[in-house]
Structure 1
Amino acid sequence: MKASVFTWEYPPAIYGGAGVHAKYITMALAKLIKVEVRTLDIGAPPEIEGVNVLRYQSTLRGLATGDPRIIKALQVLSFNMNMVADPIDAAIVHTHTWYTNFAGAMAKRIYGAKLVATVHSLEPLRPWKREQLGAGYELSSWMEREGLLACDAVVAVSRDMKADIQKAYPIPASRVAVIHNGVDPQKYYPRDGLESVAKFSIRKPYVFFVGRLSRQKGIFDLLNAMDGVPEGTTLVLATGKPDTPEIEDDLRAALKLRNDVVWIREMLEDHDLVNLYNEAAVFACPSVYEPFGIINLEAMACETPVVATRVGGIKEVVVDEETGLLVPPSEPAKLAHAITRIVEDPTTGTTMGKAGRRHVLRQFTWDRIAAKTLELYRSLT
């Protein structure tokens, strides 16, 4: 069997959970079947054993300069068309996010492949995307809808996501399989990380946040929560690409009033990322919308306790009072209280951290996720 995986994000250009998923699921599937990846042509070509990577560009050529937000969505559409211009001989086409969903629908019609899509988020549930895409949000939503309705099977990364899919689109429950994301416990593991703490001049104890700079991630709730944690606690924000210039400006303005925050504004190298997970007193995930949240698995694999919001797939990853603490979204005071509990009681934090890694090893390895994905493929052919 051969699968052709369509994804906007792929090494070296990864800035979110969907890209992490695409990288590791293709690596794990390549141990079991032939795997081809069709992705964006950016950065140095990746060399991943067993995975044939084909890279494509947007070729949008307008005569005038339009709204750049709309142009971005149209560029994605042209990228989708270019991906399916090359013949596809795979039995399965598997798409990830609205950036490639529509290409999957075209590939099914043109080449007769069975179509699978993994849903990492849903455009109808992310209205703040209008700030990022303007009227292009209508196009991204349409591309997602057409791509998902064409699927022979849809993968939801959590039970909550399955329910959301069925609310958003007329897709029968029998066509939606829940297959969680995973983590590589050989990459994310307990170790001394003080080298990276010194590199970024971080004062311990610290609360660690990793994520895209987006309204979705609840970063301003976390900033407000820091007013209620023990004095001397540092917040380390490792933020990737901002959704919009405006949100970056808002964060910069908020940080002018604080001296307890270290802002790392670029994607961390893997070595530093794992080190900073390990040395954190708490990993914080204050999202207001989070279909899964791979970052929580990464922290847990490093034996770091997690404080996260009780939303979406997070509830299926973090075991409250066992591997971390869950709090309601958009309530900074409760977030602060949970962080304080762990910062002031390192023994409890250590116990939760060790329980977190055990939980990861039992349920969330990529080999386990790949086996479930292959089982789904085989049910379609």
Structure 2
Amino acid sequence: MKIVEIGTGYTQIPAKIGAATEIVIENLLNGLNNNGIEHTLIDISYSNQVKNSDKFELSLTHYVNVPNWLNKIKDNGIIHIIRRIWYSIGVGLLLRKLYRNKLQTETYIHFHNQFNFFFAYLIAGRRLRKGKIRTIYTVHSPDWSNSKKIPKKLFFEKIAILKADVIISLTNIIKDRIKESVKINSCKIIVINNGVDLNKYHPIIQGDKQKQIINIGSVCKRKNQLETIVNIKEFLLKENYKFVFAGKIIDHKYFNEIVSYIHSQSLSEHVKYIGEVKPGSELNKLYNKSMLYISHSKQEALSLVVLECMAANTPVVLSENFETFVDFDSKIRNAVKIISNHNLINEINNLCNNVSYHKQYALKQMEVIQEFYTWDNIAKLMIKKLAQFKQTL
């Protein structure tokens, strides 16, 4: 078996910014390598950019070059789409070149983005449908999680789901919604969770945690940072805590609403936005020095941040919103706190002010991650389920 991972064209792998899908691809490649599976990466590059292959030696990497001007111009909706399409066409041309001859090894081409799949399949579809080549498409979009109708922005993703040989869903809820919306054979959908790189996210031996609560994620209505601030305002003021949130601002109007609320409620000393935090050691330090992580997110696929916090000894508190779209298995569900707003302050008080209670939950979370959610285990599960899928053909 050989697996070819297709980078999305958003940023090079390994990612130097908070790019969740690129982080997943990087860690899957590491997991496949550790499980002895042959693997290749196809990734984006600009002609004036140093390629990351010297820092990422676990796999053979093919690069698709994209014009420099698409990297220099400040990213916006139009430029983002043009870059994605340009790269995706390049992926299609490369795949057509690489797989013109008959293969001896069962090869899975693994896509993670709807534009990549659509244009690559348009160009190289005949090559991708022959012999021992199979296509995989992972649904990372959270938009399937609470919608029975197909959003217009997922038009290409619907085509990817219909055409790919194997669909990977991060949760059973998203799997069920896809079956309802796209009407495909459920046998081709397999559920594989995300994992955690324990070399990057782990407890650090240091002093006491700071009096701060964190939230990591894109700043937008979907991530719902404002509701968190509203619901913990009383605690922040009474206990002199800070709420620190980080992530790329993708909805500036929403961010301005947050800023206005902070000023109107005299919370400037208690709520801080710190921009984007670099994945890895910098983010791990932030997790470790924080008392807990909290989220009222309205849409998720399966949050990497939740798993990373659990690995880093930081208790996770989630609102009941999560239950509507993330069907955590019993191992995760028993390790994190899923709380209604009515009981939120009491739970935060217990975790922040009761040392033994905090330690108990942090330890439970770490044990679950270490036993079940390393990327080696996730890659092993992927290999097993692909082998089972092959038997159904």
TM-score (norm 2): 0.80
Distance 2:19 2:177 in 1: 20
User: CA contact under 8 A between 1:296 and 1:317: conserved in structure 2?
Assistant: no
Secondary structure at 1:215's aligned position in 2?
A: coil
- Identify the residue that residue 245 of structure 2 maps to in structure 1: 237
Secondary structure at 1:267's aligned position in 2?
A: coil
- Identify the residue that residue 144 of structure 1 maps to in structure 2: 157
Distance 1:324 1:264 in 2: 25
- Is 1:41 the counterpart of 2:53? The answer is no
User: CA contact under 8 A between 1:318 and 1:326: conserved in structure 2?
Assistant: no
Superposed CA offset, 1:22-50 (max 9, x none): 11011211332222222332664222122
- Identify the residue that residue 359 of structure 1 maps to in structure 2: 368
Equivalent residues in 2 for 1:301-320, closer than 5 Å: 301-310=311-320, 311=322, 312-313=325-326, 315-316=328-329, 319-320=332-333
- Identify the residue that residue 220 of structure 1 maps to in structure 2: 226
Superposed CA offset, 1:210-236 (max 9, x none): 112232212111111221324211111
2:300 to 286, 290, 293: 290
- Identify the residue that residue 73 of structure 2 maps to in structure 1: none
Report the AA paired with residue 56 of structure 1. Answer: V
Which structure has the larger Rg?
2
- Identify the residue that residue 176 of structure 2 maps to in structure 1: 163
Question: Residues 141 and 13 (structure 1 numbering): CA distance in 2 closer, same or farther, change over 3 Å?
Answer: farther
Indicate the percent of aligned positions where both proteins have the same amino acid.
18
Equivalent residues in 2 for 1:159-308, closer than 5 Å: 159-192=172-205, 204-229=210-235, 230-239=238-247, 241-256=248-263, 257-258=266-267, 259-268=269-278, 270-308=280-318
5+ residue gaps, structure 2, are 70-75
How many residue pairs are counted as aligned between the two chains? Answer: 354
User: CA contact under 8 A between 2:17 and 2:278: conserved in structure 1?
Assistant: no
Deviation at 1:71, TM superposition (A): 5.3
Report the AA paired with residue 223 of structure 1. Answer: I
Cα root mean square deviation, aligned: 3.0
Secondary structure at 1:313's aligned position in 2?
A: coil
- Identify the residue that residue 111 of structure 1 maps to in structure 2: 128
Distance 1:110 1:246 in 2: 45
Report the AA paired with residue 128 of structure 2. Answer: Y
- Identify the residue that residue 347 of structure 2 maps to in structure 1: 338
Question: Residues 15 and 171 (structure 1 numbering): CA distance in 2 closer, same or farther, change over 3 Å?
Answer: farther
Report the AA paired with residue 5 of structure 1. Answer: E
User: CA contact under 8 A between 1:105 and 1:151: conserved in structure 2?
Assistant: no
Question: Residues 286 and 303 (structure 1 numbering): CA distance in 2 closer, same or farther, change over 3 Å?
Answer: same
Question: Residues 318 and 205 (structure 1 numbering): CA distance in 2 closer, same or farther, change over 3 Å?
Answer: farther
Secondary structure at 2:256's aligned position in 1?
A: helix
User: CA contact under 8 A between 2:317 and 2:336: conserved in structure 1?
Assistant: yes
Distance 1:213 1:167 in 2: 30
User: CA contact under 8 A between 1:16 and 1:211: conserved in structure 2?
Assistant: no
User: CA contact under 8 A between 1:7 and 1:38: conserved in structure 2?
Assistant: yes
Equivalent residues in 2 for 1:24-173, closer than 5 Å: 24-31=27-34, 32-41=36-45, 44-46=50-52, 47-57=55-65, 69-70=77-78, 72-86=80-94, 87-89=97-99, 91-103=107-119, 105-106=121-122, 107-112=124-129, 113-123=133-143, 138=152, 140-173=153-186
User: CA contact under 8 A between 1:28 and 1:370: conserved in structure 2?
Assistant: yes
Deviation at 1:98, TM superposition (A): 2.6
- Identify the residue that residue 2 of structure 1 maps to in structure 2: 2
- Identify the residue that residue 21 of structure 1 maps to in structure 2: 24
Deviation at 1:351, TM superposition (A): 0.3
Superposed CA offset, 1:64-122 (max 9, x none): xxxx6355434422321111111233821101133433245344434333111111225
Distance 2:98 2:17 in 1: 25
User: CA contact under 8 A between 1:37 and 1:52: conserved in structure 2?
Assistant: yes
User: CA contact under 8 A between 1:192 and 1:279: conserved in structure 2?
Assistant: no
Deviation at 1:317, TM superposition (A): 7.4
Report the AA paired with residue 44 of structure 2. Answer: L
Secondary structure at 2:57's aligned position in 1?
A: coil
Superposed CA offset, 1:155-182 (max 9, x none): 1112222122223322222111111111
5+ residue gaps, structure 1, are 62-67, 128-136, 198-203
Distance 1:126 1:58 in 2: 35
Secondary structure at 1:362's aligned position in 2?
A: helix
